[in-house]
Structure 1
């Protein structure tokens, strides 16, 4: 995938004669992430393809929710954005990805990540009587897509979801993919990137990916995170529902994009969520 004509034109207008320093694109989805240099200053340009639905959410997050982080240098600052063209330009945020480094297993990393997330979540809170029912319907629709979940298990999952209560929920700004692959470390300081899944959700939903991965591998990271956050936002019943929804979504999405190891993680998450 390359930039569309409109995206290239906008970049040429915003940063004339900019040089591409590095391509940070993930590869599994059709989003380009390009590091650019212009007059000695580095930027990140994110461009979505026709199927993209993340750029609009990322731009919304920059416009509405990121100030508590950008003011302290904890998140990249938006420079330009064009939602119709699916193009976002931010200032480059220094640091290396936490994932795959010793910082991924350091208690202080998670204490900092908890503090950062608490600042983000506590900006606002909105009551929503329909969140749980919407999420149930969304998860049932995901189960209708192609997947490799056993037929009998898929039927059990549908029945389980259909029997769930739908109590009112409180929604806050959430990152949506809160884990070390979206954290940077710079001289010991944790910073945050990638807001393509940002949305209003219950606070506890930002813990589901950590719980399925790092907290599971090294349990001591969880109390360090909760201490940084300030309290545990997880109600047991709502948390159980969130874990199973995330597990189903992981198994089905990973199958669709051909990521077999991530798909296996999704199947393991389903089994573990059903046990608790």
Structure 2
């Protein structure tokens, strides 16, 4: 997994300038003479993800800038909710953290990304992913009277930003969001980006990474990204996942709103970061979501 090294030495620093100076020094003090092995960072986000060699083994270092909220979410997830996945070897253990520096050091997990490999097309992968998601979701639940209202307001706010959504599609999307009458829903600990780009495969075993979008949400929201991508033309993958999960958490009325909100966020965010391929996917998602009416 990973993209390889992309930076040379900067002022003799072990990280080649990929981290802020404070973060680099903290990691050096924690791991003692760390060596940068690979940069797994995603170009469209400001979170740095580094594979690092230390005297006691390999680690994953994750760091963000002062305005990065994903590291705080990931820290909250690891401190309270990743335990069952860690104990069965399906998620990396949090080892060290400094919330003020937006810096985490994680256990390194062997494996390669499922995305783009044969494992992405295999039902067994999805059966395991369903089992792991159920394990994660089952740790807590509560009734939230404001979640749906806030999620819909957020989608409308996305539409107020610059985008390239067709005006007629935008009007219909706004109308469907405005007419929706939110009710209290059950929320659980969710991953927020449950899909093959955040799954590793090692010796046939699925493992989970990146809890940077952790939040309490309805369980069905963790199925959105699979439904609009891998499951669209391969119902066997969806069936395997649901068998692994044990039930289907989706309800018809809320599910179509879930998909519409996901589509709006995708189309607008992708335009703002300049990812045209993902933006096209967002437009397709909008068309398909609105067709549910």
Fold shared per TM-score above 0.5: yes
Equivalent residue in structure 1 for 2:236, among 211, 215, 220: 220
Contact 1:20/1:36, CA 8 A, preserved across alignment: yes
Please list the CA deviations of residues 33-59 of structure 1 after superposition, one character each: whole Å capped at 9, or x if unmatched. 100011150000011123311110001
Match of 2:14 in 1: none
Find the partner of 1:138 among 150, 154, 176: 154
Q: Within 5 Å, give how 1:150-229 maps onto structure 2.
A: 150-229=166-245
Q: CA RMSD in A?
A: 1.0
Please tell me whether the aligned partners of residues 30 and 51 of structure 1 are also in contact (alpha carbons under 8 angstroms): no
Equivalents in 1 of 2:128, 2:173: separation in Å? Answer: 36
Single out whichever of 10-19 and 260-269 deviates more from structure 2: 10-19
Work out the CA distance in 2 between the residues paired with 1:215 and 1:165.
28
- How many Å apart are 1:9 and its aligned residue? 1.7
Q: Name the counterpart of 2:40.
A: 24
The alpha carbon displacement at 1:121 in A equals 0.4
SS at match of 2:100: coil
Q: Output one character per residue of 1:204-231: Cα deviation in whole Å (capped at 9) or x when no partner.
A: 0000000000001312100100000000
Deviation at 1:83, TM superposition (A): 1.4
Task: State the 1:8 CA deviation.
Answer: 1.1
Residue in 1 aligned with 2:77?
61
**Structure 2 CA distance for aligned equivalents of residues 225 and 99 of structure 1:** 16
Q: Secondary structure of the residue that 1:216 maps to in structure 2?
A: coil
Q: Counterpart of 1:12?
A: 28
**1:100 aligned partner:** 116
Unaligned runs of 5+ in 2: 1-16
Alpha-carbon contact 1:78-1:91 (below 8 Å) kept = yes
Q: Which residue of 1 aligns with 2:134?
A: 118
Pick from 223, 235, 245: which aligns with 2:251?
235
Aligned with residue 263 of structure 2, among 244, 247, 251: 247
* Residue of structure 1 in register with 2:5 after alignment: none
TM-score by structure 1 length? 0.98
Deviates more, 1:3-12 or 1:101-110: 3-12
Shift of residue 251 of structure 1? Answer: 0.5
Runs of 4+ in structure 1 deviating by more than 4 angstroms, as ranges, are none
Contact 1:99/1:180 (8 A) holds in 2: yes
Paired residues of 2:33 and 2:55 also in contact (CA < 8 A): no
2: CA distance between counterparts of 1:93 and 1:8?
22
Are residues 1:48 and 2:52 paired?
no
Task: Tell me which residue corresponds to 1:39.
Answer: 55
Question: 2:7 maps to which residue?
Answer: none
Q: Distance in 1 between matches of 2:32 and 2:160?
A: 47
